[in-house]
Amino acid sequence: MDAADTISAERALRIDLAACYRLVDHFGMCDLHLNHISARAPGGHGHFLINPFGMMYEEITASSLIKIDFDGNVLANSNSAYSVNLPGFIIHSAIHAARPGAGCIIHTHTEAGMAVSTLACGLLPLTQTAMRWGRVAYHDFEGVFVDPGEKKRLVENLGDCDVMILRNHGLLACGATIPEAFSNIYRLERACRTQLLAMACNSEITLPAMDIVERANAQLARSPTRDASGAERPQGAIEWPALRRMLDRRDPSYKD
């Protein structure tokens, strides 16, 4: 990829990442200015894009995203009034460095995600949505993510999973692309909300037999969605253009 192609690819990536921030806000998954979504920058140089700490998700734009490397060096920042959140750097640099295939990482502090993170049972396979992933990773709470020494344990616990529950903390989702990571966090959030609703009914909960759960895991993991032509598309790819169009109708400023 030559320099011109890299610049063009980064511009497109910035727009998609800014869209992802707006969508997380739209669907009620943000925590004021906290949390972070990152995307691996094109070019293979060990760089990634992340939000300016202090901006609300609803005001993130393509040009406002900060580019840093795995050592925390700022490579591009259009507004020096903002910097990168340290826990965000710790979490995202660790996973991007350990998982080259993780093009995007999303971390949230939703009420449902935090609530499920406190349950000893974790996420239960109560619904088809919750059975989407063959395995859900867990990482025990060690305090605020400011210790670089926690990186090793975080990536070991994540392994090759696409979603993780950070105990007593929140949720995390990865994807090869921004649409895939958004699809993962959106459905992980819905699975958590549904579980809490079911548990709040104070009635006996029905769990499918384990062989059925395993079958559903396999079906959902191995069956990519197909577009109108029948071509296989990765999770999140089909709905992403429609989500972008929804943002364009509401507020296209994320592209700025």
| Other CB atoms within 10 Å distance of the CB of residue 203 | 8
Give residue-wise pLDDT tens across range 239-249.
999 999 999 99
- Helix, strand, coil % in the chain, rounded to nearest 5: 45, 15, 40
Q: Does any domain span residue 87? A: yes
CATH number of the domain residue 148 falls in: 3.40.225.10
Give residue-wise pLDDT tens across range 144-176.
999 999 999 999 999 999 999 999 999 999 999
Domain that holds residue 11: 3-246
In the chain, the number of structural domains is 1
What is the pTM assigned to this prediction? Answer: 0.93
Region 52-80: mean pLDDT is 95
Residue closest to 131 by CA, chosen among 119, 141, 123: 123
User: Containing H/E element for 150?
Assistant: helix 150-158
Q: Does any domain span residue 88? A: yes
Which tokens in the block code for residue 254? 């994320």
Q: Does any domain span residue 193? A: yes
For residue 226, what pLDDT is reported?
A: 62
Q: Does any domain span residue 255? A: no
Q: Does any domain span residue 134? A: yes
Burial track 57-78 (b if 16+ CB lie within 10 A, e otherwise): bebbbbebbbbbeeeeeeeebe
Classify strands 36-40 and 104-108 as parallel, antiparallel or unpaired: antiparallel
For residue 59, what pLDDT is reported?
A: 96
